[in-house]
Amino acid sequence: MSYYESFKKSIKKSIDPSDEVTDQELFEALKQQELGVFESILGSLSAEQILTVDEMQIFNSFDLEEPTDKVNNQGNKTVVMKLTRLCNLRCDYCFSWAEGPDQTMTFSTIAKTIYENQRETNLENITYVWHGGEVTILGVKVFIKMIWLQSQFKREGQNISNALQTNGVNVSDEWFEFMELLRLPVGLSMDGIPDLNDVRRKKVDGSGSSQDVINFISRVNQSKIELGCLVVIDKENMTMDMEELFNFFISMGVDKIDFLNYTVDSEYINKVFNSPESLIYSDNVDPKFISFPEFCSFMLNVFKLWKSTYQDKITIRFLDKLIEAIFNESNIDNCYFEGGCLDSIFTIEPDGAIDSCDRLIGIDRDACGEQSSSGCNSCSSSNIETFAYEDGMSNCNWFYLCGGGCPHDRIAGTALSHSYDGACCGMQELLDNIYNFVLSKQSIKPKGVSQNESININ
C-alpha cells in the first residue's frame, strides 16, 4: 500500500469509523467542503499516522511551549518554499532549475522553517507558496506532512494558507485529488498559444509542453480548483498577438491570467556593479531583458485592449490590483507594491538558506544594499525606500502607489538599461490611463493627483 493510500485510509477512519459510506463517496463529499475543512481533518491525525519514526524524533525536538521574542511587525508574511530545484522542463529563459543531489528540501528543514515562521508573535496571516523547480515531481507525501506540521505549529489566531506554482506537466492523479481536497489555489505557467509556448517551455527531451498543460487545464475546469495562468514577458515575446493570446485562454476556460516581467540572470547585473568603471558594455546585455518601463509600455497596450474588448471576459491580476488600489485610494495589494516587501516575503532554498524574493537571489550585496532585519541576504525595505527617494521618484504623483517599483527592476534598470534615469519606475502613463478609466466608472479623486476632471494622457 502506498503512503497516499494509507493516508486516505486514516482520513476515512477518522471521519467514518463505522464504514457507512464508500471511500469514493467520502472523498467526493470532502472535495465539496469549504476551504480549510480538509486541512483541519488532516491536522487532527496523529504523528504516527503521518510521520516516519525518524521524522517523529525531529518533530518532538521542537518545544511548542517555548516562549519567543520574535515579533512580526508586518502582521503578514509570505514564505516561498523552494522545495526542490529539480524540474521536468528546460524553459529557455529560466535559471531556477538544477540537477544532481541535494536539490530537494529535507523534512528537517521543512519542519524548522514552519516552526520558526509560525512562532512569531503578532503574525496574523502566513502564506506558503509551494515553488520549484517543479514541486509536483516530489509526490504528495511531502505536502501532506507540510500541512500537518502547519497545523501542529499554528499559534492561536493565525490564518495559514497555501498556494502552488506548477508547470502542469505530468501531474499525477494523486496530486490532482490532493489539490481538489485542499481547494488549493494554483498558478500555472504557460507563455501563450501552443506554438509559442512549445518553443519557450520544452521538456527535458526537447518536446513541447503545451498539450500537457491543456490537459491539466481541462481537468481543473471540472473541479473547484482556483486556477490562474502566468505568462513571462521578455524581449522575445512582448510583441506577440495579444488578441490571439486572450482568445486562446478564453477558449480553454481560463478567465484569470497575469503577466510577469522577465527576471534577469544575476550574472549580468553583477558584472556591471563589480566593474571599476560601472559601465554598461554591449557584450553584457541579456538578450531577453526588458526594462520595467518597457514592461509597463507592454502592459499599457494590454490594458487598452482589455478595456476595449475583454474586461468582461478575463481578469488580469496586475491590472486588477492597480484598478482596485486607485479606486480605493490604497496601496496596491500585490507583491512589492504593498510596502516593506523585503521584510514580509522570504524565499527558503532547498538547503534551508533564507533570502528575500527569489528575483534577488544571486545579486551581490553591494548592488542591492544592506541586510534586512530578518537577516536574509538582501536589502531592507527602509534601504529600498531611501533609494527611491534619492532617485527623485518621491516627487511623482503616483509614488504613494508604486513606492518606486520593484527593487530587482530598479537594480536591473540601473545596470542594464541606457534609458533608465531613476526619475520614474515606468508606471506613470499606465497609472494615468487606469485613473481615467476608474474616473469614468465612478467620480473619485485619488490622493496625490490634482483635482482635474481627468489626467491629460495625450
What is 308-346 written as a DSSP string? IIITTT-EEHHHHHHHHHHHHTS---SGGGGS-GGGTEE
Helix (H, G, I), strand (E, B) or coil at 411: helix
Which pLDDT tens digit goes with each residue over 398-445? 888 887 788 778 878 877 777 677 778 889 999 999 999 998 876 555
Q: Let me know: does 26 contact 15? Beta carbons within 8 Å.
A: yes
Helix (H, G, I), strand (E, B) or coil at 58: helix
Assess if residue 189 is contained within a domain.
Answer: yes
Assess if residue 215 is contained within a domain.
Answer: yes
Assess if residue 216 is contained within a domain.
Answer: yes
Instruction: List the one residue out of 418, 409, 347, 400 whose CA is nearest residue 378.
Output: 347
The pTM for the full model equals: 0.87
Assess if residue 337 is contained within a domain.
Answer: no
Assess if residue 289 is contained within a domain.
Answer: no
Assess if residue 255 is contained within a domain.
Answer: yes
Assess if residue 283 is contained within a domain.
Answer: no
Looking at the structure of the chain, the number of domains it has is 1
Instruction: List the one residue out of 264, 233, 235 whose CA is nearest residue 368.
Output: 264
- In terms of residue numbers, what domain contains 141? 75-261
Assess if residue 8 is contained within a domain.
Answer: no
Instruction: List the one residue out of 71, 101, 73, 76 whose CA is nearest residue 86.
Output: 101
Q: Residue 86: give its domain's CATH number.
A: 3.20.20.70
Helix (H, G, I), strand (E, B) or coil at 121: strand
Q: Which residues of the chain have pLDDT under 70?
A: 273-284, 330-343, 365-392, 419, 442-458
Residue 375 pLDDT: 37
Which pLDDT tens digit goes with each residue over 82-92? 999 999 999 99
Residue 386 pLDDT: 44
Instruction: List the one residue out of 188, 303, 169 whose CA is nearest residue 246.
Output: 303
Query: Which triple of cell numbers denotes residue 325?
Result: 488600489
